[in-house]
Structure 1
Amino acid sequence: MIITRYNIAPVAVQPDSDPASEPLLTPIAPAPGQQPSNGTDVLVPIDSGTAFTGGLLPDWSFGEWAAYSGIVLLALFLTAIATTTLWWMLHAWRSADDLRATQFSASPRPARHRFTLLVPGRHEEEVMGQTLDRLAQQDHPDFEIIAIVGHDDPGTELVVREAAARNPHLIKVVVDDSVPKNKPKALNRALQIATGDVVGVFDAEDEVHPGLLTVVDSKFQETGADVVQGGVQLMNFETSWWSLRNVLEYYFWFRSRLHFHARSKFIPLGGNTVFVTRERLEWSKGWDDQCLAEDCELGVRLSSDGAKVVVAYNPEYVTREETPPTLKSLYKQRTRWNQGFLQVLGKGEWKKLPTLRQRMYARYMLNMPFLQAATGLLIPISIAFILLVKVPTAVALITFLPLIPTVITLVVEAAGLTEFGRIYDKKVRMRDYTKLILGLVPYQIFLAAAAVRSVVRQLRGDGSWEKTEHTGAHRDAAVAPESTAVPVLATAGASETK
Structure 2
Amino acid sequence: MTATVNGARVRLTDGVAPELARLLPEGICRTFRVMPYAVVDGTVLVAVADADDPITLQVVEERIDRPVQLVRHTTNEITDAIETVYPAVEGQIESSEERRGRVQMARMLTNSGLVTNDQLQMAMLEYSRTGDPLGDILVAHEAISEDVLVAALSEMYQMQRVGLSDFVPDMEIARRLPEPLAQSFQAIPVAATDDLVLLAVARPLDPEQAVAVEEALGSPFRQLLANRTELDQLIQRVHSAHYVEVSTVALLEARPEDSAHVVFTGGQKALGVCLLVAVVVCGVVWPMQTLIGVVAACSVLYLLVSFYKFQLTFRALGTHLEIDVTDQEIADLDERTLPVYTILVPLYKEAGVVRRLVQGINDLDYPRTRLDVKLLCEEDDTETIEMIRSLQLPPHFHLVVVPDALPKTKPKACNYGLQIATGDFCVIFDAEDRPDPDQLKKAYLAFQHVAGNVACVQAKLNHFNQDQNLLTAWFANEYSMHFELILPAMGAAGSPIPLGGTSNHFITSVLRELGAWDPFNVTEDADLGIRLHREGYRTAMIDSTTLEEANPNVPNWLRQRSRWIKGYFQTWLVHMRSPGALLRETGPRGFTSFNLTMANAFVLLLNPIFWGLTTLYVLTQWGFIRELFPGFVFYAASAMLFIGNFVFVYLNVAGSLQRGEFGITRTALLSPLYWGLMSWAAWKGAIQLFTNPFYWEKTEHGLDSGAH
Normalising to structure 2: TM-score of the pair? 0.52
SS of alignment partner, residue 689 of structure 2: helix
Structure 1 residues 112 and 78 mapped into 2: Cα distance closer, same or farther (>3 Å)? same
Q: Distance in 2 between matches of 1:146 and 1:68?
A: 55
Letter of the aligned partner of 2:674 in structure 1?
Answer: Y
Q: Which residue of 2 aligns with 1:275?
A: 505
Please show how residues 152-301 of structure 1 align to structure 2 within 5 Å: 152-163=380-391, 165-166=392-393, 168-180=394-406, 181-223=408-450, 224=452, 225-262=454-491, 263-301=493-531
2:658 aligned with 1:447:
no
Contact kept in structure 1, 2:485 and 2:655, CA below 8 Å: no
Q: Which residue of 1 aligns with 2:272?
A: none
Q: Deviations over 1:79-123 (max 9, x none)?
A: 333222333344421x53xx2545444443625432100111011
SS of alignment partner, residue 126 of structure 1: helix
Structure 1 residues 219 and 377 mapped into 2: Cα distance closer, same or farther (>3 Å)? farther
Q: Distance in 1 between matches of 2:350 and 2:695?
A: 19
Q: Which residue of 2 aligns with 1:464?
A: 695
Structure 1 runs of 4+ off > 6 angstroms?
Answer: 62-71, 392-395
Q: Which residue of 1 aligns with 2:542?
A: 312
Q: Which residue of 2 aligns with 1:401?
A: 639
Deviates more, 1:173-182 or 1:250-259: 173-182
Q: Which residue of 2 aligns with 1:86?
A: 310
Q: Distance in 1 between matches of 2:326 and 2:616?
A: 50
Letter of the aligned partner of 1:81 in structure 2?
Answer: V
Letter of the aligned partner of 2:366 in structure 1?
Answer: H
Contact kept in structure 2, 1:234 and 1:323, CA below 8 Å: yes
Q: Which residue of 2 aligns with 1:145?
A: 373
2:649 aligned with 1:410:
yes
Q: Distance in 2 between matches of 1:458 and 1:443?
A: 23
Percent identity over paired residues: 22
Among 584, 588, 597, the alignment partner of 1:365 is 597
Q: Distance in 1 between matches of 2:294 and 2:307?
A: 20
Deviates more, 1:381-390 or 1:285-294: 381-390
SS of alignment partner, residue 464 of structure 1: coil
Contact kept in structure 2, 1:105 and 1:219, CA below 8 Å: no
Q: Deviations over 1:38-72 (max 9, x none)?
A: xxxxxxxxxxxxxxxxxxxxxxxx99877777766
Contact kept in structure 2, 1:205 and 1:470, CA below 8 Å: yes
Q: Distance in 2 between matches of 1:69 and 1:185?
A: 43
Q: How far off its partner does 1:236 sit?
A: 2.3
Structure 1 residues 90 and 126 mapped into 2: Cα distance closer, same or farther (>3 Å)? farther
Structure 1 residues 439 and 297 mapped into 2: Cα distance closer, same or farther (>3 Å)? closer
Q: Deviations over 1:354-375 (max 9, x none)?
A: 4244234323322321224324
SS of alignment partner, residue 329 of structure 2: coil
Q: Distance in 1 between matches of 2:293 and 2:523?
A: 38
Among 318, 341, 364, the alignment partner of 1:115 is 341
Letter of the aligned partner of 1:160 in structure 2?
Answer: I
Structure 1 residues 277 and 323 mapped into 2: Cα distance closer, same or farther (>3 Å)? same
Structure 1 residues 140 and 472 mapped into 2: Cα distance closer, same or farther (>3 Å)? farther
Among 632, 649, 669, the alignment partner of 1:437 is 669
- Relative contact order, CA 8 A, sep 6+: which one is greater? 1
Letter of the aligned partner of 2:434 in structure 1?
Answer: E
Q: Which residue of 2 aligns with 1:327?
A: 554
Structure 1 residues 173 and 217 mapped into 2: Cα distance closer, same or farther (>3 Å)? same
Q: Distance in 1 between matches of 2:693 and 2:301?
A: 31
Q: How far off its partner does 1:230 sit?
A: 0.7
The structure carrying a bigger helix percent of its residues is: 2
Structure 1 residues 328 and 133 mapped into 2: Cα distance closer, same or farther (>3 Å)? same
SS of alignment partner, residue 649 of structure 2: helix
Q: Distance in 2 between matches of 1:454 and 1:284?
A: 27
Gaps of 5+ in 2: 1-285
Q: Deviations over 1:322-366 (max 9, x none)?
A: 122421111111111121122222223774424244234323322
Structure 1 residues 362 and 177 mapped into 2: Cα distance closer, same or farther (>3 Å)? same
Q: Distance in 1 between matches of 2:701 and 2:397?
A: 22
Contact kept in structure 1, 2:469 and 2:552, CA below 8 Å: no
Q: Paired residues, what number?
A: 400
Q: How far off its partner does 1:201 sit?
A: 0.5
Q: Distance in 1 between matches of 2:324 and 2:616?
A: 44
Q: Distance in 1 between matches of 2:402 and 2:445?
A: 33
Q: How far off its partner does 1:446 sit?
A: 2.3
Q: Distance in 2 between matches of 1:470 and 1:70?
A: 41
Q: Distance in 1 between matches of 2:631 and 2:411?
A: 55
Normalising to structure 1: TM-score of the pair? 0.72
Letter of the aligned partner of 2:344 in structure 1?
Answer: L
Contact kept in structure 1, 2:460 and 2:546, CA below 8 Å: yes
Contact kept in structure 2, 1:226 and 1:277, CA below 8 Å: yes
SS of alignment partner, residue 226 of structure 1: strand
Contact kept in structure 2, 1:321 and 1:474, CA below 8 Å: no
Q: Deviations over 1:375-397 (max 9, x none)?
A: 46425634664784676898765
Letter of the aligned partner of 1:221 in structure 2?
Answer: Q
Contact kept in structure 2, 1:72 and 1:399, CA below 8 Å: yes
Deviates more, 1:384-393 or 1:115-124: 384-393
Structure 1 residues 324 and 409 mapped into 2: Cα distance closer, same or farther (>3 Å)? closer
Q: How far off its partner does 1:304 sit?
A: 0.6
Q: Distance in 2 between matches of 1:304 and 1:395?
A: 36
SS of alignment partner, residue 404 of structure 1: helix
Q: Which residue of 1 aligns with 2:351?
A: 125
Q: How far off its partner does 1:243 sit?
A: 2.4
Contact kept in structure 2, 1:229 and 1:270, CA below 8 Å: yes
Q: Distance in 2 between matches of 1:257 and 1:415?
A: 11
Structure 1 residues 113 and 396 mapped into 2: Cα distance closer, same or farther (>3 Å)? same
Q: Deviations over 1:375-427 (max 9, x none)?
A: 4642563466478467689876554322035225424433544565x45xx84
Q: Distance in 2 between matches of 1:393 and 1:171?
A: 65
Q: How far off its partner does 1:472 sit?
A: 5.4
Q: Distance in 2 between matches of 1:348 and 1:393?
A: 36
Q: How far off its partner does 1:200 sit?
A: 0.7
Q: Deviations over 1:267-325 (max 9, x none)?
A: 11111101111111221222111111111121121111011211113xxx311111224
The CA RMSD over aligned residues, in Å, is 3.1
Q: Distance in 2 between matches of 1:439 and 1:238?
A: 16
Q: Distance in 1 between matches of 2:658 and 2:575?
A: 39
SS of alignment partner, residue 558 of structure 2: helix
